[in-house]
Amino acid sequence: MANNKILDFEAYRNNFSDSGLWEKIKQVAKKAGIKVVYAALVLYYLAKDGDMPIKDKLKIYGALGYFILPIDMIPDSIIALGFTDDFAALAYALYSAARYVTPEIKAKAEKKLEEWFGNYDRALIAGLLPATTADDNDQV
């Protein structure tokens, strides 16, 4: 049996581009939901500003590239399920790089959410980031 991963999100990193991400979010923000968009934004700002190993950045760009692709394992057009595979890819990268997430990165993502979703309920994104982010490590 071949040693192939079913979902090798890192294989999608070549599909990432800044403009592609912004266009995708603009097209699907309301449909994908605030959690998916928040995860994508945190990852985007983390990759741009984060001082982390290239291995983690490649996971992030892979997950964002998968999110950008119009064709994936579960078509985005399927109501209530369409973005579950995208969110899985984003969550995988987010949990892999959570220790690098700073309060500044969270603030940038939340500011952009406010621009797109208006005055949203912060409870919708509470708990999305693991407890091992950079600001949590500073409090120990």
Q: Convert the pLDDT of each residue in 4-23 to its tens digit.
A: 443 555 667 667 777 777 78
The band of 1, judged by pLDDT with boundaries at 50, 70 and 90, is very low
Tokens representing 71 are 């064709």
**Quick one: pLDDT at residue 109?**
93
Is residue 103 over pLDDT 70? yes
Tokens representing 34 are 């605030």
- pLDDT tens string 55-99: 888 889 988 888 888 776 666 556 566 677 888 889 999 998 999
Say how far apart CA 24 and CA 30 lie, in whole Å: 11
**Quick one: pLDDT at residue 131?**
67
Say how far apart CA 75 and CA 82 lie, in whole Å: 5
DSSP class per residue in 80-124: TTTTHHHHHHHHHHHHHSGGG--HHHHHHHHHHHHHHH-S--GGG
Instruction: List Cα–Cα distances, 27 to 21, 34, 67, 92, 136, in angstroms.
Output: 10, 13, 12, 23, 34
**Quick one: pLDDT at residue 138?**
46
- pLDDT tens string 17-53: 777 777 877 877 777 788 889 999 999 999 988 688 8
> Do the Cβ atoms of 100 and 46 come closer than 8 Å?
yes
Q: Which burial class, exposed, middle or buried, applies to 91 when counting CB atoms under 10 A from its CB (0-12, 13-18, 19+)?
A: middle
